[in-house]
Amino acid sequence: MKFFIDTANLSQIKEAQELGVLDGVTTNPSLMAKEGITGKKNILNHYSKICDIVNGDVSAEVISTDFDGIVREGEELAQLHPQIVVKVPMITEGVKAIKYFSSKTIKTNCTLIFSVGQALIAAKAGATYISPFIGRLDDVSTDGLNLISEIVTVFDNYGFSTQILAASIRHTMHIIDCAKIGADVMTGPLSSIKGLVKHPLTDIGLKKFLDDHKNSNQ
């Protein structure tokens, strides 16, 4: 399973990279705005900074919703750095653009996936990644993990190479459950990744070892 971090915060990206398990980064306009990154030039420069920190794919989202606009923005983003993956919304014009990008060997991440049908058509169009938002489904009393499981089944049935990127991860158990059912990638906050390290019995055991060592060497 690949670990992506979902943020535009450079310090958090650096911390995740230093942990040694980071495979990529996902961003969106909301995350950019949260960090105070505004204006086209500043946003593009910020993507370049992220690419300088990490070794893996960096999803950069288009703003346009028409085919020509998505293609224009996507090609500009793709030229920015070889690690850039063009993030395209799951809309009709987006599917057309994904097919176009696929023919040009430009990597894509189809975002805002909430159904198996959406995942299927994005894969048919040649998306590199599809991003089902499991946390947002949970928010409306729908089983987000079940969607991941259903997509895994369909993709396995037909041998799609499109990677399932579990998005809107809210906590550590989301990561574990997605790993159990076969998601290729997860993207979430740094806290959810760091949470995998923690267990109270580890803390208790380590304290006991250190106390015993200290007592035996007095």
- In whole angstroms, what separates CA 195 from the centre of its chain? 17
Give CA–CA dist 86/165, Å, rounded.
14
User: Could you tell me which of 109, 57, 116, 112 has the C-alpha nearest to residue 90?
Assistant: 112
Tokens 């395209």 map to which residue?
A: 88
Count the Cβ atoms, other than its own, within 10 Å of residue 209.
10
User: Could you tell me which of 62, 65, 114, 103 has the C-alpha nearest to residue 84?
Assistant: 62
Q: What is the DSSP letter of 195?
A: G
Q: What is the DSSP letter of 133?
A: B
Give CA–CA dist 31/27, Å, rounded.
6
Q: What is the DSSP letter of 20?
A: T
**What three-state secondary structure class fits 215?**
helix
Q: Has 87 been annotated as catalytic?
A: yes
Annotated catalytic residue, options 14, 87, 99, 194: 87
The residues pairing with 142 across neighbouring beta strands, listed in sequence order, are: none
Q: Write out the catalytic residue numbers.
A: 87
